[in-house]
Amino acid sequence: MVDEQIKERGVVDPRVITAMAAVPRHRFVPEPLTNQAYADHPLPIAASQTISQPYMVALMAEAAEISPSDHVLEVGAGSGYGAAVLSELAAEVVTVERHRNLADAATELLAELGHDNVTVVKADGSLGCPSRAPYAAVVVTAASETIPAPLIEQLADGGRLIIPLGSLGEVQHLTRLRRNGDQTSTETLGWVRFVPLIEDR
Ligand code: SAH
């Protein structure tokens, strides 16, 4: 998986490559699909959601430019797989999930696998997690038409926010926003397809 899907497509950050090799993806995939865990595509998980394609997890982690001392917010814990990868790169990860059963399953599995620096919060992640802010990186694993303002507000100075922007059912553009003081700049990293970010307000 790491050689053919991650390195060959241009992910070069050695820490990301090590993290992708370290996390046992088959543990995050529903049991009937375990034999497809390392295949080159997303897979269905509970609550009609998906565990992202391995390459997408690596691409987003690399784009977030995470240092070992960083505090990171993930929006959309899903299976917990992305959070596990981020936890190998960062000092602390807070991951927010709106589905109670997914949040509970991810909490249990991440603890079992020893990812002690991850906290799973059951909430509407479009509000971020203000009590643990600011974050050096925010990784949103669901697509939104616009960037929710709280996520930008909770980004540290110099921080990076990675989010798929666009409509459901269409391809979205994976976007990186950088915050420098009160200024932000954005760039498009490529075309992607994610489940929607659902705001519970
Ligand atoms: N990172 C996940 C990918 C999960 S798919 C993994 O590695 O498995 C995206 C997830 O975002 C889904 O679980 C969905 O329930 C969740 N989601 C959608 N809108 C959300 C919101 N507003 N707040 C928190 N989670 C949300």
**Mean pLDDT by groups of 10 residues along the chain of 201 residues:** 96 98 98 97 96 98 98 98 98 98 98 98 98 98 97 98 92 97 96 93 68
Closest CA to 185 of 134, 147, 129, 131: 147
Closest CA to 81 of 133, 38, 128: 38
This prediction's pTM? 0.98
How far is Cα 76 from Cα 15, in angstroms, rounded to an integer?
22
State residue 194's pLDDT score. Answer: 94
Ligand 1 binding site (Cβ under 6 Å of any ligand atom): 49-52, 75-76, 78-79, 81-82, 96-99, 102, 124-126, 141-142, 195, 197-199
Tokens of residue 33, six digits: 């699909």
